[in-house]
Amino acid sequence: MLENHSSATEFYLLGFPGSEEIHHILFATFFFLYSVTLMGNTVIIMIVCVDKRLHSPMYFFLGHLSVLEILVTTIIVPIMLWGLLLPGMQKISFSACVAQLFLYLSVGTTEFAILGAMAVDRYVAVCNPLRYIIIMNSRTCNLVVILSWVFGFLFQIWPVYATFQVTYCKSNVVNNFFCDRGQLLKLSCDDTLFIEFILFLMAVFVLFGSLIPIIVSYTYIISTILKIPSVSGRRKAFSTCASHFTCVVIGYGSCLFLYVKPKQTQAADYNRVVSLMVSVVTPFLNPFIFTLRNDKVIEALWDGAIHCCHLFRN
């Protein structure tokens, strides 16, 4: 579609292969997952803000994580759903493509920083419980969250800028359902090996920079839990970390396969599947991960449901 242009003014998202019937099935599936994701994470945000039993650092970080999950799926899914309803390829402007990629990467980077902070929070709670309130005070928590958001958005300025500074002369058809960086670089006729290598190093820095405190924290946490004499005590201590650990495994597992590779221009089907995990499946699962094994959250939800029933009756 693009003939000898040094820069593209618009792109076309190829979306998902298959017939119109398959697209309708995918639309219904993704619309359901997106709706549940919005409702589940919104409920978590509401109960964390309203219920005083959840006014602690752990749930403060959980509330911000839910905000990030809503953002990361909203940046991708509505455009993807619209593309499934339209025949053929979906057109997206150059500026919209830049904005989508920047917001997607920035929110994802912020999320990794928050997950790292949550691991340190669990370390202090399990390994140093007597000083937990002093160390994880409101000022510290607010500072950590602000720095996470600022770092996430500032860190991704150069990678996105570099991605769109290449010459797009092969085509302007992106073989994915969103403006995927790997597929965008694939459209360039420039030598992108150096850019890809720098992007690889930056991805390693973000993922492993936040993964190292998680590994160190859980090493001390597991060591401390194993020293607890009673089985019930060990189970209770581990239950406070199980949800976060599950979220870390799913989130980091997907992104390690997607971004931490020297060659960014990976096969389109590979990128499409892993991107679905990051932008659709993980945000859908997180509300269940953090509620089904958390007694305080379940109690808050139950009390909130009872309160709503009383309001409707009156």
Digit-coded pLDDT (tens) for 173-190: 888 889 988 888 888 888
Kindly state the DSSP code that residue 174 receives in the 8-state scheme. E
Q: Which CATH superfamily is domain 10-313 in?
A: Rhodopsin 7-helix transmembrane proteins (1.20.1070.10)
pLDDT of residue 262: 52
Sorted by where each begins, the domain ranges of the chain are 10-313
83 Cβ neighbours under 8 A, 6+ residues apart: 13, 15, 89, 90, 177
| pLDDT digits 0-9 by tens, 242-298 | 777 777 777 776 666 655 555 544 556 767 877 888 888 888 988 888 776 677 777
Element (H, E) at 93: strand 90-93
d(CA 168, CA 170): 6
Which band of pLDDT confidence, cut at 50, 70 and 90, is reported for residue 97? very high
- Report the half-sphere exposure of 230 (CA within 13 A, side-chain side): 4
Beta carbons of 225 and 237 less than 8 angstroms apart:
yes
Tell whether the model's pLDDT for residue 152 goes beyond 80: yes
Beta carbons of 125 and 58 less than 8 angstroms apart:
yes
Count of H helices and E strands in the chain?
Answer: 12, 3
Please compute the mean of the pLDDT values over residues 86-102 and round it to a whole number. 89
272 Cβ neighbours under 8 A, 6+ residues apart: 16, 176, 177
3-state secondary structure string across 227-266? CCCCHHHHHHHHHHHHHHHHHHHHHHHHHHHHHCCCCCCC
Beta carbons of 215 and 252 less than 8 angstroms apart:
no
257 Cβ neighbours under 8 A, 6+ residues apart: 274
State CA 263 to chain mean position distance.
22
Tell whether the model's pLDDT for residue 6 goes beyond 50: no
pTM for the full predicted model? 0.86
What SS3 state is found at 33?
Answer: helix
